[in-house]
Chains A and B, each alone.
Chain A
């Protein structure tokens, strides 16, 4: 504004001069700008060269047996899952792939990426491969790998350099396209690698499923609102894990004779739920209390006389819904949503009792969980199950009710004070002591329980931070509006608190993912144990332990690193701390 008050001749500004600094200038500025930095650079370069040479000597030593990895790929992923039932595993993978494809259509893929960056990445990868290949020529072992590294690296580098000359101006290319090319290369690699027989086609199909469902998602998205689409996909993701682990992979054989005694009653109960909610929401205070007392009484009675477990749990659920009705089904619209919630909850419970608990030939087959599959189950299951428990503990710790507070504090501090491995041993060795003789859970279930109990304490502390960050004005305002404590917590305090702590919760989930490797110590066949004990002890791959540990490190690293990057992006998008 003030510039207009000066009499400046108006002429177009010349474009800014681009200073192209040579690499010598760059080095002088960034590596040798002082005597200390110069010395440091020399020392670090020498150390780095020594380290790289030692690494290459390690990697290309004739003692290394990298070739044992492709034939063991299926062991890393599913360990001892019966190979004749492997179709179940492929189905699980395809479900995940389909959901991933639909999600990419619905959420987008991060938009565009600069062409120059892509070309630079190609160039850098090519140069690294070339340098590693050339340096490795000094190592004792020769072979195809080095040839591939040298020629492949040179080719990539050449393509990169050529493309740099061609691409002059800044242009974007969609991330989806780049990922598709990378995916195609990976599929090509699958065909090139000597994998366990019968795995190449299903893996290729997986890639095709992703692409196909990406288009399906785009098509469906045209006549469905984006909001609804995202909600449906989220629900499908949440449902997919129990379905995959309890049904598809466990492969239970449903014996109809065992369920016919209670199934009609369960269906009746689910159908009667909306009626109960309707009555309670329309009735006066005293009548509603009467219904609740009745339901609670039946619920307790059902545990005493030991009705079928599904009926007991459904009655309990109905009692809880009925108790929550005045809070969540006050308006007709909220009541409609509440009916749907009840139906979904009831049907999920029913499904769980049919498929999750129902008979299975598990006993004859031994354990069916192993490898990365088990690692993912423990990480995802532990996170999902510890979330409600952690929120409850956090609410207990910030509660004004002293006994709840003391119980929560004792639980949180005791669990946070001991290492995870002692909690795992507690689950593995002490839980069977508490059960009637002869009854025991599967080791995987006990580990999941222990991990959940452990993670909940840490999660509670994160959520507590969020609860304390909600300003007092919010609770006072909700009190002034006449909300009950339950309404205030569920509708005002918790949503705001959870939004603030999302990055901390993702960090906690990553830590949990890394911590699942501890179940290898109590003898479960998770990914680390497959890499540390199982594969290196097979006759074909005897003693390849360091190679396998490096592979494990790489796989864990890729998961954890990409999650932490995603969490950073999420943090930036949520703008926590900047609002």
Chain B
């Protein structure tokens, strides 16, 4: 102890040898370079556009676009916003119906690949190996041209392969469909209550099964509870008209509160979120031995979180317009709901419509009585659905194969039947493996709907291209695309992550 060398105070290295300084100098240098490049490019773009008589404004959303769309809510949109709204709704129609269909087809094919039936497993293999190795664009274009050149020509007396149910023609595929009527929303309120009741019934019966060890049939109970509410609602739906008052009241109260109150509340929430992040971060760095040494990266994260919280609060306080837009949208939604509920409405919530042909002028066309897929819709829908289904099939197969063999052996040893084994042992465990890549495939399918442009299907990209061909506002249109697709991606990721977190094993 005595002859321990005295430690001189550590000399700080000179600035050009200081690793922390060099790291930050490099980072700030690169950030500055990126920002400088961006500003030069934007400056160049603005100058170029001014020379062509264009500018970086958002007039294209409010001006009449002078375009015509193939199908959708607004065939002849009166503003650019209406055109993009039509494109977005068309895209969502393809994406949602495609996701459902691709999941069903993919699950069937994936299970068939593992079937003990030689023919079924071979056909499933051929399905997967052929479809996933052909570019999805080729498939989309192929289905479109198949529908528009090889399907039967529509005649005034066409009734399709299944009269009254399915009509196939070169002008589209039309089929019978239960269309929601004006009382649908009132019935929908009952269905929501039914779902909640079913959930409650399932949990109660499940708890009972766990406590008593007997088969309490929770699934049947839940289904019956839901059906009971659905049947009740079918006849008693005018009762839900009372919800109309509730929505009216809510809409009025949202409008009655001054904007400044919302601003202050939201700003406080923003500040709180920033503070909470820093607090939790510090807690995570704390051990019984005290606070761990924080690196410069840690400090940066905390400063960034605080700055984001404070910045959000500042923006909210300084820009009342942002909050105002939010409250206006909320109020509009509540008023929209208010209009859907009324005591005086009567009639069935759903009405069956079947396909039919009309001859308005010289040429026959499909009437709006059934649900119709135009050749464009058919092409993009078949293309993305089958392509994605081939990937989903592989994911399902991989998921089932990932469950150890001991699990099914143990299940059989406990006396489970094959169906029970699949339902209670294999699928719940496979689901955990399947879910993350399945979410990725849903994302891919949604993005692939953008290929509708190749078959003149008016989704987001096709509408955008038509718009910038008219106005020349390419940069704005690309920004709108980015905002739209990034929101869709974010939404799907959030949903999948939510379910994924619930499905994962809780480990120690």
Binding partners A and B? yes
Interface 0/1 of B181-208, CB less than 8 Å to A: 0000000000000000000000000000
A138 contacts chain B at the CB level, 8 A cutoff: no
A473 within 8 A of partner (CB): no
Contact B134 A31 (CB under 8 A): no
Evaluate contact between B454 and A521: CB separation under 8 angstroms: yes
A259 at the binding interface (Cβ < 8 Å): no
Residues of A near B30 (CB, < 8 A) are 403-404, 407
Interface string of A179-204 (1 = CB under 8 A from B): 00000000000000000000000000
Q: Is the C-beta of A436 less than 8 angstroms from some C-beta in chain B?
A: yes
Q: Contact between B137 and A518 (Cβ–Cβ < 8 Å)?
A: yes
Inter-subunit contact B451/A37 (CB<8 Å): no
Chain A residues 549-573 with CB under 8 Å of chain B are 549-550, 552-553, 556-557, 560-561, 564
Give every chain A residue within 8 A of B49 (Cβ-Cβ): 433
Stretch at the interface among A76-84, A164-172, A227-235, A421-429: A421-429
Residues of A close to B116: CB separation below 8 A: 30, 33, 37
A417 at the interface (CB under 8 A from B): yes
A433 touches B117 (CB 8 A): no
B488 nearest in chain A by CB position: A417
Chain A positions within 8 Å of B28 at CB level: 403
A40 touches B135 (CB 8 A): no
| In the complex with contacts A30-B116, A436-B44, A517-B135, A414-B461 CB distance below 8 A | no
Contact check: which of B119, B146, B465, B478 meets A41 at CB < 8 Å? B119
Question: B interface, by DSSP: helix, strand, loop or mixed?
Answer: helix
A556:B475 contact, CB within 8 angstroms: no
Residue-by-residue, is B90-124 near A (CB-CB < 8 Å gives 1, otherwise 0)? Answer: 00000000000000000000000001111110010
Contact assessment for A545 and B461 in the assembled complex, using a CB-CB cutoff below 8 Å:
no
User: B117 and A31: CB pair below 8 A?
Assistant: yes
Q: How far is the CA of A552 from the CA of B116 in the complex (A)?
A: 34
Q: Count residues on chain B whose CB falls below 8 Å from chain A CBs.
A: 58
Q: Which of B240-248, B295-303, B346-354 contacts A (4 or more CB under 8 A)?
A: B295-303
Partner of A401, one of B27, B133, B150, B475: B27
The contact of A550 among B23, B26, B142, B482, by CB within 8 Å, is B142
- With the chains together, A121 CA to B451 CA distance in Å? 39
Give Cα A37–Cα B485 distance, bound, in whole angstroms.
Answer: 44
Q: Is A528 on the interface with B (CB-CB < 8 A)?
A: yes
Given contacts A40-B120, A401-B23, A434-B45, contact A517 B138 (CB under 8 A): yes
A418 & B482 in contact (Cβ 8 Å cutoff): yes
Quote the shortest CB–CB distance from B338 to chain A (angstroms): 35
Specify which of B31, B141, B142, B451 lies most central, judged by the most chain A CB atoms within 10 Å of its CB: B141
Cα of A407 to Cα of B32 in the assembled complex, Å: 12
**B146 contacts A546, C-beta separation under 8 Å:** yes
B453 touching A521, Cβ below 8 Å: yes
Q: Is B490 in contact with A417, judged by CB distance below 8 angstroms?
A: yes
Given A425-B465, A518-B451, also A430-B134 (CB < 8 A): no
**Given A44-B123, A403-B31, A561-B129: A421 in contact with B451 (beta carbons within 8 A):** yes
A404 to B453, CA, bound (A): 36
A416 to B28: give the CA distance in the assembly, Å.
26
Decide: B133 and A561 in contact? CB cutoff 8 A.
yes
Q: What is the CB-to-nearest-CB distance from A304 to chain B, in angstroms, rounded to a whole number?
A: 15
Instruction: Annotate A322-333 by CB proximity to B: 1 below 8 A, 0 otherwise.
Output: 000000000000
Q: Is B74 an interface residue (CB 8 A)?
A: no
- A433 contacts B475, C-beta separation under 8 Å: yes
Partner of B135, one of A426, A429, A556: A556
Pairwise interchain contact B133-A30, C-beta atoms closer than 8 A: no
Residues of B within 8 A of A145 (CB): none
Contact B461 A422 (CB under 8 A): yes
Are the CB atoms of A422 and B145 closer together than 8 Å?
no
Query: In the complex, which residue of chain B has the Cβ closest to the Cβ of A406?
Result: B304
Q: Is B497 at the interface (CB under 8 A from chain A)?
A: no
Min Cβ gap B398→A in Å is 13
Chain A residues whose CB sits within 8 angstroms of the CB of B34 once the complex forms: 407
Q: Indicate whether A257 reaches chain B with its CB closer than 8 angstroms.
A: no
The reply to whether the CB of A520 lies closer than 8 angstroms to some CB of chain B is yes
Provide the bound-state CA to CA distance between A526 and B137, in Å.
13
Query: Which of chain B's residues have a CB closer than 8 A to the CB of A515?
Result: 135
Does B331 touch A at the CB level, under 8 Å?
Answer: no
The reply to whether the CB of B51 lies closer than 8 angstroms to some CB of chain A is yes
Within 8 A of B (CB), among A53-85: 58
Residues in B whose Cβ lies below 8 Å from that of A367 = none
Q: Is the CB of A532 within 8 A of B141?
A: yes
Q: Which residues of B contact A422 (CB under 8 A)?
A: 450, 461, 478, 481-482, 485
Interchain nearest-CB distance for A32 vs B (Å) = 9
A366 cross-chain contacts in B, Cβ below 8 A: none
- The answer to whether A421 touches B450 (Cβ under 8 A) is yes
0 or 1 for each of B153-173: is its CB under 8 Å from A? (1 = yes): 000000000000000000000
Name A396's closest neighbour in chain B (CB-CB): B30
Q: Are A48 and B123 in contact (CB under 8 A)?
A: yes
**In the assembled complex, A419 has its CB within 8 A of some CB on chain B:** yes
Is B216 among interface residues, defined by CB-CB distance under 8 A? no
Closest to A61 in B: B150
* B119: contacting residue among A44, A407, A532, CB under 8 A: A44
Enumerate chain A residues within 8 angstroms of B136, measured Cβ to Cβ.
514
Contacts of A419 in B (CB 8 A): 447-448, 450, 461, 485
Q: Using Cβ atoms and an 8 Å threshold, which residues of chain B touch A520?
A: 137, 454
Check if B41 is an interface residue, CB within 8 A of chain A: yes
Q: Which residues of chain A are within 8 angstroms of B48 by Cβ–Cβ distance? A: 433-434, 437
Contacts A403-B30, A430-B478 hold; do A556 and B120 have CB atoms under 8 A apart?
no
Q: Which residues of A contact B31 (CB under 8 A)?
A: 403, 407
> B474 and A556: CB pair below 8 A?
no
Chain A: which residue is nearest B17 at the CB level? A285
Looking at A45, A407, A556, A557, the one whose CB has the most chain B CB atoms below 10 A away is A557
Name the B residues within 8 Å of A560 (CB-CB).
133-134
**Which residues of B are at the interface with A, using a C-beta cutoff of 8 A?**
23, 26-28, 30-31, 34, 41, 44-45, 48-49, 51, 115-120, 123, 129-130, 133-139, 141-142, 145-146, 149-150, 295, 297, 300-301, 304, 447-448, 450-451, 453-454, 461, 465, 468, 474-475, 478, 481-482, 485-486, 489-490
Identify 14 residue pairs between A and B in the complex whose beta-carbon atoms are under 8 Å apart, listed by A's number. A44-B123, A400-B297, A401-B23, A403-B27, A403-B31, A407-B31, A422-B478, A422-B481, A430-B474, A433-B45, A433-B49, A514-B135, A553-B142, A560-B134
